[in-house]
Structure 1
């Protein structure tokens, strides 16, 4: 189990979103350098947050998901209603924020 970097984000928010996309697809990941980003300008240039998969076995699948995430291909074109709790959600969500149920057509 060797962690590998799969995504270099523009900011901590995008890093967390990318990590959550991976988690939603069953891939364990974590964010590095999210706190260093605040020192931008005072620290060396490479202080952007990055997402790392916890196990290199997941690297290829994670890279494919990240590519789809960057292209916006993971977002569906229409709002949806959670079949588990009935919450109305915007099109970009693949998981219900209320009960964490996965969008039925997200795979």
Structure 2
């Protein structure tokens, strides 16, 4: 089974965030090299974690989602009020922490 590299993460936490983001869009990705991070600076090889997919049809959609993810600056989003419970939320949240309603539902 062949695998296709789709992303090089800055650190293991970033790799997991991007993997989970892709999973939320129906794309299964696998992380390689996350445990090499501890040897950064000591190892002669590239120690950055990478994300891989097995389905060649998911390579382009995964890369497009990653570009969208990286371009989405949630820190600059406006605060919003949940239409379900009325809770006021900071812009970086996509779901209400009180009732779980998605921002896109409002």
1:68 and 2:68 are equivalent in the alignment: yes
Cα shift at 1:54? 3.0
Q: Alpha carbon RMSD of aligned pairs, Å? A: 3.3
Tell me if the contact between 1:4 and 1:56 (Cα under 8 Å) persists in the aligned partners. yes
2:15, 2:102 → 1: CA distance?
Answer: 21
Name the structure 2 match of 1:105.
104
Cα shift at 1:104? 5.9
Tell me if the contact between 2:22 and 2:62 (Cα under 8 Å) persists in the aligned partners. yes
Tell me if the contact between 2:95 and 2:103 (Cα under 8 Å) persists in the aligned partners. no
Runs (5+) with no aligned partner, structure 1: none
Provide the secondary structure at the position in 1 that maps to 2:38: helix
Name the structure 2 match of 1:31.
31
2:88, 2:51 → 1: CA distance?
Answer: 29
1:9 and 2:31 are equivalent in the alignment: no
1:46 and 2:36 are equivalent in the alignment: no
Tell me if the contact between 2:96 and 2:103 (Cα under 8 Å) persists in the aligned partners. no
